[in-house]
Amino acid sequence: MMEHSKLKFKTWYAIMMLMTATKKGFSASEIQRQLGKNRYEPIWRAMHKIRAAMGQRDDQYVLEDMIELDDGFFETETKKKDKKRLKRGRGSAKQTKAIIAVESTPLEDPETGKKSSSFRFIKMKVCSSFKPEYNDEIITAIIGENAVIVTDKSNSYVNISKYVEIHLTEKSSKEMTNTILKWSHVAISNAKRNLLGIYHKIKAKYLQAYLDEFAYKLNRRYFGGKLFERLVIALSSSNLQPCG
């Protein structure tokens, strides 16, 4: 993947180290500053190549067992001339939709009998439409057919039962958000806060790359110092085209 790149291998490794050094990550301008580089574009391109490798690595796996599924709407950059004629609120043209799927393991305290859940792995995929068939294509690619999926009663999910073992639905409410779809909403909230805090404005066409980085690091949150090593492996085993 680094073949024909104008950046030295040492610089690539430094970028990978910085991208895995914190949970939040860095913007390309911050990494450019830390590495003392004159040009922004090569750093930006390298980071997007790395994000693509992260996404490709996670695409090798599907989610299984009990899964929370919900939509997340992320603020994306809009041209000034288009802002006045765009509708507002959920699903507006100022926002880009992503499907958020989280493996949620049911737990029960043997002493109190209190039920809860723990979070395992996550998938975050940008969806270009609200039509069910677009959701179906993504869901069949990221979720195993033996899974049990829990969603709200959105019309976007009417076909899910065709592709998984069980599809459970419940009317959307504050209680549902805090219990049944707890981890999917936590993931959406954290991703929004992370992206807004680092990048401020993201073009819709690049949102998937940033979500790939967020999900990749979240899925490996217990790797600690080994995260850099795992990223080196992900890049070396990717089939992305060389730079040039």
The whole domain housing 162 covers 66-194
Quote the mean pLDDT of the chain: 87
Give the model confidence (pLDDT) of 27-61 as tens digits.
Answer: 999 999 999 999 999 999 999 999 999 999 999 99
Q: Residue 102 is which amino acid?
A: V
- Spatial CB neighbours of 63, under 8 Å, sequence gap ≥ 6: 101, 102, 103, 121, 123, 142, 143, 144, 147
pTM score, whole prediction: 0.88
- Phi, psi (deg, nearest 5) at residue 47: -65, -35
Low-confidence ranges of the chain (pLDDT < 70): 79-93, 241-244
In a domain, 75, yes or no: yes
Q: With contact defined as beta carbons under 8 Å apart, do 21 and 179 qualify?
A: no
Q: Could you tell me if 30 and 108 lie in one domain? A: no
Q: Where are the alpha helices (DSSP H) in 156-202?
A: 174-178, 182-199
Looking at residue 97, its pLDDT comes to 92
Looking at residue 232, its pLDDT comes to 92
- Phi, psi (deg, nearest 5) at residue 35: -90, -5
Q: Could you tell me if 48 and 146 lie in one domain? A: no
Q: Could you tell me if 73 and 173 lie in one domain? A: yes
CA-to-CA separations, 168 to 59, 95, 147, 149, 160, in angstroms, rounded: 25, 27, 11, 6, 10
Looking at residue 179, its pLDDT comes to 82
Q: Could you tell me if 77 and 178 lie in one domain? A: yes
Q: Could you tell me if 112 and 153 lie in one domain? A: yes
In a domain, 187, yes or no: yes
In a domain, 211, yes or no: no
Looking at residue 5, its pLDDT comes to 80
Q: With contact defined as beta carbons under 8 Å apart, do 184 and 70 qualify?
A: yes
State how far the Cα of 10 lies from the Cα of 115, in Å rounded to an integer: 49
Q: Could you tell me if 225 and 155 lie in one domain? A: no
Looking at residue 187, its pLDDT comes to 94
Looking at residue 113, its pLDDT comes to 76
Q: Could you tell me if 225 and 159 lie in one domain? A: no
Looking at residue 2, its pLDDT comes to 76
CA-to-CA separations, 9 to 4, 54, 212, in angstroms, rounded: 11, 18, 23
Q: Could you tell me if 110 and 22 lie in one domain? A: no
